[in-house]
Amino acid sequence: MWSIMKKLRNYPFLIIMSILILGISFLNLIKKDTEFSEMENRYLAQKPVLTLGNLLDSSFGTQYETYVNEQFPFRSQWITGKAIAETLLGKQENNGVIKGKGGYLFPKQLNVEKQLKKNVNAIQDFGKAMGAKTYVSIVPNSYNILRDYLPKGTPNIDQEALIAQCDQTFTREENMINIDIESILMEHKNEYIYYRTDHHWTTLGAYYGYLQFCNAQGLPPVDISKLTANSIENFTGTYDAKYKGIGIKPDTITYYSIPIEKMVVDKEEKSSLYDLEKTKVRDKYAMFLHGNHPISVIYAKENEHNQGKKLLLLKDSYANSMVPFLTYNYQEIYVVDLRYYTDSIGKLVEDNGIQTIFLLYNFDTLMTDNHFYRLSR
């Protein structure tokens, strides 16, 4: 035994690594699995259940590997440490996120997903089938509008050309009206229209999109200068959660005091469009409309412009910061997220006498989301 110990002294690195591996394995066994990563703003993989199906198709091994990687002890600290080290080494990219000028972070997007064509066709078919007037708008992401902020030579897909192709497809349908939001964002690209650390547009960017929507319908827009603005500081979003470098300037969320009659979220009544409790957590953007839900119904304060008017808004989270402005023009707004809503859209329109439909999605959602087939229900 003593001779073995003497030999092991010659291999201190091996001893240290063995202790680390055993310690981490022990921690993995005793620690409770983390369901949601506050830092990454996403749900983590949970321990998979072994079944005959996933054993035969070999997916259990992949699922278990993902589970181990995502439940690794001190995962958040490892990610942060790696990011800081790479920043100190002068790297501009980390975990698929690139640091550009002015402290802006951008995703590295090189491939056009096959899902894009399926989703565009699903929207086109929806426009053919619906009797109500249908408006469509695809919002470009920050790396398209703020391309001058990207490091020189950074490869990225050409969103401008792809959105133009989508627009051409939508406008073939008599019932469908395409709303060009890209042009107004380009006009105001030197303003604070996208968050530096998050994938969403700011409330100002959403307001410019709202102006285009009103213009397309001949509606009088609410004057933003006459609204009371409120600010939430120290917001770091989804891009920062991946990048985790040093020297990143937090964002400011602006929201406007717009009273409503009520808002029904998952059959629960709310008195406000905003959940201010969400401002205490990392994902502060979730304060808009109380986050994402299958369906929410907003009953606005009646005025001469919105009286009796109803809107169905099919959307992703980009729309959440635009909705408050829409209450000026619509008395009832049915907000539907196809990622969670499984009932018939046609029946919803018919049962509630909805006159106008608006589809608002950012391009990355249009390219990757696989729930647009639910439009045909």
Higher pLDDT pick, 265 / 83: 265
Nearest to 324 by CA among 249, 358, 273, 267: 273
pLDDT band at 63 (very low <50, low <70, confident <90, very high): confident
Whether residue 22 is predicted with pLDDT greater than 90 in this model: the reply is no
pLDDT reported for residue 28: 54
The string of pLDDT tens digits covering residues 342-353 is 999 999 999 999
Query: How many distinct helices (H) and strands (E) make up the chain?
Result: 14, 15
Q: How far apart are CA 73 and CA 169, in angstroms?
A: 49
| Structure tokens given for 333 | 């707004």
What average pLDDT does this structure show over 81-96?
A: 69
pLDDT band at 227 (very low <50, low <70, confident <90, very high): very high
pLDDT band at 53 (very low <50, low <70, confident <90, very high): confident
Give whole-number Cα distances, 340 to 27, 67, 293, 374, in Å. Answer: 35, 24, 7, 10
Q: For CA atoms 71, 74, 75, 76, give the dihedral sign.
A: positive
Whether residue 276 is predicted with pLDDT greater than 80 in this model: the reply is yes
- Cβ atoms of 253 and 229 within 8 Å: the answer is no
- Report the percentage of the chain scoring pLDDT > 70: 81
> Which of the 8 DSSP states describes residue 308?
T
DSSP codes joined into one string, 31-91: SPPPSEETTTTEEPPPPPPP-HHHHHTTHHHHHHHHHHHHT-TTHHHHHHHHHHHHHHTT-
The string of pLDDT tens digits covering residues 138-193 is 999 999 999 999 998 888 889 999 999 999 999 888 889 999 999 999 999 999 99
Show the 3-state SS of 102-136. HHCEEECCCCCCCHHHHHHHHHHHHHHHCCCEEEE
pLDDT reported for residue 46: 75
The string of pLDDT tens digits covering residues 99-141 is 999 999 999 887 888 899 999 999 999 998 887 889 999 999 9
To the nearest whole number, what is the mean pLDDT of the chain? 86
Whether residue 17 is predicted with pLDDT greater than 80 in this model: the reply is no
pLDDT reported for residue 51: 81
In this structure, how many other beta carbons lie within 10 angstroms of the beta carbon of residue 61? Answer: 11
pLDDT band at 79 (very low <50, low <70, confident <90, very high): low
pLDDT reported for residue 40: 53
Nearest to 141 by CA among 101, 204, 185, 82: 185
pLDDT reported for residue 23: 53
Kind of pairing, strands 251-256 and 36-37? unpaired
The string of pLDDT tens digits covering residues 291-338 is 999 999 999 999 999 999 999 999 999 999 999 999 999 999 999 999
Using only C-alpha atoms, the chain has a radius of gyration, in whole angstroms, of 24
